[in-house]
Amino acid sequence: MPRYFATFIPGTGEIVAAMLRRRLKDLQLSALLDGAVEFETGVPYSDLNLFCFNNVFEVLHRGAFDSLEDYLRALPAAQPDWAAARRLPARVKTFRLVTSHRNRLVSVDAAGKRRLEAKIAQATGLRPDRSRPDTEFWLLARSEGLCFFLKRLSRHTAYDRQLAPGELHPELAYMLCWLSEPLHTDVVLDPFCGSGAIPCQRVKRFPFRTVYAFDRDASAVRRAGEKLAGSPRVVLAQQDVRTLSERLPAASVDAVITDPPWGLFENVGDLAQFYRESLAQLNRVLKPGGRMVLLTAKKEELAAAVAALPMLTLQKRYDILVSGKKAGIFRMEKAR
C-alpha cells in the first residue's frame, strides 16, 4: 500500500487522526507527530480527498538517525522505494532535492547532496533542476529522531500572495467545517465571514441547506461574494453580529462556524465585552442541539463568554498555532 507523510497545523493532530479513521477504512496509522502524520492506505493520492493537510508526500524511506547529515550519507545504500519514486506523471521531467531539519530548510554537505541527486536521477530518469523543477524530493529530519526520504505529491500554494490579511488558510477553514459535523439539513451561519474562507469550504466540501455569510465590513462581503458567486443557497449580507436579531429569528440555525475578530486587524473596542455580546446573539439564533465552532487567539476572553451562557456547553478545545500565533478552536453545543 502507498505510504504517506502529510503535514498539518500544529495542535490539530487529534482532529486529523479522526478524519483519517473516518475517511479511510483500511488505514494503518504509523506515526502521529507534532504537525505531521505517517499513514498507509490502499487509496491512491488522487482519491484521498483530505483537505486538512498543508503538504502530502509519499514515503520512500524512513529511519532513525542522529542528524540529517548522517541520513544523507546512509540513504543511497538504504534501498529506498525507487519504484514508488518513479511513479510520476508523464509531464514530470525535472526535480529538486529539498533538505529540512525540524521544519526549517537547511543546507547540507554539497558533495553528499550531489551524490543523492545523481542517484535519484539514475533511478527515475529525471534531471536535477534547482530553480523551477517539475517535482521535489525531500530529505527531512524530525525533532523526534525520525528521518524521511519523501516524494512530494501536493503542489505548493503561495497563500501570502492570495489571501487577505487575517484570512484563514483553506486547510484550517476545512477543519472548522468538519468539526461542526455537517448534515444535509444544516442551516449554517458565519457572522464574521471576512473574505469567505469558511463559507467557501462549507459550500465546496460539505453538505448544507442554507449558508448565511455575514460581516459588518461591506468590502469583506464583496470579496466573499466574488468567491461565492453562483453558489446556490448562500445568503450574503452586511450585518453586525450584535444586531443579529434583526436578521435571523431565534433557534433558526443548526451550526455556527466562524473566526471572530482577534483585535489585530479590526478594532471592536473592549474585546471581552464584544465576545459576550456576540456569543449571546449567536446562542439566541442557534437551535437546541445546534453546534458552534469558533477560532480565536483570545482564548480566555472567549472561554469567559462561553461560561456566561449556561445553555452552551464547551465540548472540546484544541490549542493550536496559526501562522506562529497561539490560538484555540472551541467546539460547543447548545443544550436540547
Indicate whether 33 and 88 sit together in one domain.
yes
Tell me: the pLDDT tens digits for 118-155? 999 999 999 999 999 999 999 999 999 999 999 999 97
Dig out the grid coordinates for 186 from the structure. Answer: 444544516
119 and 234 co-located in one domain: no
Domain boundary, last residue among 127, 159, 191: 159
Same domain, 178 and 326: yes
Integer-rounded Cα Rg, in Å, for the chain is: 23
Q: Which three cell numbers stand for residue 316?
A: 472540546
Query: Can you give the pLDDT at residue 324?
Result: 85
Q: Are residues 249 and 124 in the same domain?
A: no
What backbone phi and psi angles, to 5 degrees, belong to 182?
A: -60, 140
Q: What is the pLDDT of residue 230?
A: 87
Kind of pairing between the strands at 234-238 and 210-215: parallel
Q: What's the CA gap between 156 and 145, in Å, rounded?
A: 26
Q: What are phi and psi of 103, to 5 degrees?
A: 70, 20
Q: Which domain holds residue 102?
A: 3-159
Of 226, 301, 319, residue with least CA distance to 261? 301
Q: Are residues 143 and 249 in the same domain?
A: no
Compute the distance between CA of residue 334 and CA of residue 50 in angstroms, rounded to an integer.
Answer: 29
Distance (Å, whole) CA 156 – CA 56:
10
Instruction: Give the Å distances, CA to CA, from 295 to 275, 289, 300, 328.
Output: 12, 20, 12, 6
What's the pLDDT at 130?
Answer: 92
State how many domains the chain has: 2
Name the nearest CA neighbour of 204 among 51, 48, 46, 44: 51
For 215, phi then psi, to 5°, come to: -160, 150
Per-residue pLDDT reduced to its tens digit, 266-311: 667 788 999 999 999 999 999 999 999 999 999 999 999 999 999 9
Q: How far is 145 from 66, CA to CA, in rounded Å? A: 6
Q: pTM here?
A: 0.94
Distance CA 174, CA 54 (A): 12
Provide the residue-wise pLDDT of the chain in tens; the chain has 336 residues: 899 999 999 999 999 999 999 999 999 999 999 999 999 999 999 999 999 999 999 999 999 999 999 999 999 888 999 999 999 999 999 999 999 999 899 999 999 999 999 999 999 999 999 999 999 999 999 999 999 999 999 976 666 566 777 789 999 999 999 999 999 999 999 999 999 999 999 999 999 999 999 999 999 999 999 999 988 899 999 999 999 999 999 999 999 999 999 866 666 778 899 999 999 999 999 999 999 999 999 999 999 999 999 999 999 999 999 988 999 999 999 998
Give the C-alpha separation, 38 to 237, whole Å: 42
Same domain, yes or no: 146 and 220: no
Are 142 and 11 in a shared domain?
Answer: yes
Q: Roughly what angle, to the nearest 10 degrees, separates helices 170-179 and 197-205? A: 60
Q: Report d(CA 33, CA 144) in Å as an integer.
A: 8
Give the pLDDT of residue 268. 72
DSSP, collapsed to helix, strand or coil, labels residue 190 as strand
Residues 178 and 314 both lie in one domain: yes
313 in the same domain as 179: yes
Say yes or no: 72 and 18 in one domain.
yes
Distance (Å, whole) CA 146 – CA 155: 24
